[in-house]
Structures are given as C-alpha cells and as structure tokens.
Structure 1
Amino acid sequence: MIDINSEMTGSVWKILVEPGQQVSEGDTVIIIESMKMEIPVVAMDSGKVAEILVKESDMVEDGQVVIRLEG
C-alpha cells in the first residue's frame, strides 16, 4: 500500500478521486482548506485508489494519511 498524507492541518474541502480510480504521480487527489487557502494534496506515486480515509469537511492533521493506493 502507498499512503498519501496531508501536508498541513486544515479541513478537507474537496475529494477529487474515488475508490478504484487510477492516479498518476503528481495528480491532485484532495484539496485541503486552511486559513482561507486551498492546498492541493498530490499523489507521490502512481496507483489505484484503494481507500479514502476522510470525508469532505473532516479536519485533518499534518502528516495524517488521507488516501491509500494499491501500487
């Protein structure tokens, strides 16, 4: 499994992928809102979305796993 982590504390503004979807390295998978800024969370590797661990409007912490990919 490949974990995708939030890079900052904030709330999940938008989830751009769904389970089973193929993503490529560099694709934006989630947008976090923090201090009125939208911060993209990008896939660091390619893979298929196995699990989305958050919902829109959830609060996330810096480093929290938000999505797991199957390599």
Structure 2
Amino acid sequence: MEVRAELTATVWKVVAEVGATVAEGDELVILESMKMEIPVVAPAAGTVSEMRVAEEDRISEGDVVAVIDVS
C-alpha cells in the first residue's frame, strides 16, 4: 500500500524505518509546511517495506512517502 503526501512540504523527520511494524495511525514521517508540523500516518497495520523520502527532502502533494505491506 502506497502512502502519499497530502500537501507540498519539506520532510522534517522520518519516524518509521524500513522493516518496522506499524499499526493504523502510527506516524511514518513528519512534514513541515509554513512552520506547521504535519504527521503522515499509516492508513493500515503492516510492515514498512520502503521509505521513499529522507529528512529535508522537498515533496509535492501526491508523492509516495512510504510503502507498507499490509498484514
């Protein structure tokens, strides 16, 4: 399952690592836009198989942030 950014922003912090088991609602990354921190959360439980962003990356709305293998 691809997890996409909902807005154009800068990646402030990568919270989850590849191989991590996440629950629905767990934070994957935290974005920063206009001095606001916006979490990107797991839409379902599973394992993070890919993290496609790094801290300080500039991303656009709709970009894939991470991929989760749903359990």
Matched positions, count: 70
Residue identity opposite 1:43 in structure 2: A
Question: Match of 2:6, SS?
Answer: coil
| In structure 1, C-alpha distance between the alignment counterparts of 2:39 and 2:45, rounded to whole Å | 16
Following TM superposition, by how much is the alpha carbon of 1:5 offset from its aligned partner in structure 2, in angstroms? 0.8
Question: What residue is the counterpart of 2:37 in the other structure?
Answer: 38
Give structure 1 regions of 4+ aligned residues with deviation exceeding 2 angstroms.
none
Question: What residue is the counterpart of 1:50 in the other structure?
Answer: 49
Q: Which runs of 5+ in 1 are unaligned?
A: none
TM-score, normalised with respect to structure 2: 0.94
Question: Match of 2:47, SS?
Answer: strand
Residue identity opposite 1:42 in structure 2: V
Per-residue CA deviations over 1:10-56 (Å, capped at 9, x if unaligned) read 10000001010000111111000000100010111111000000110
| In structure 1, C-alpha distance between the alignment counterparts of 2:23 and 2:59, rounded to whole Å | 23
Query: How much is the aligned-residue C-alpha RMSD, in angstroms?
Result: 0.6
| In structure 2, C-alpha distance between the alignment counterparts of 1:25 and 1:36, rounded to whole Å | 26
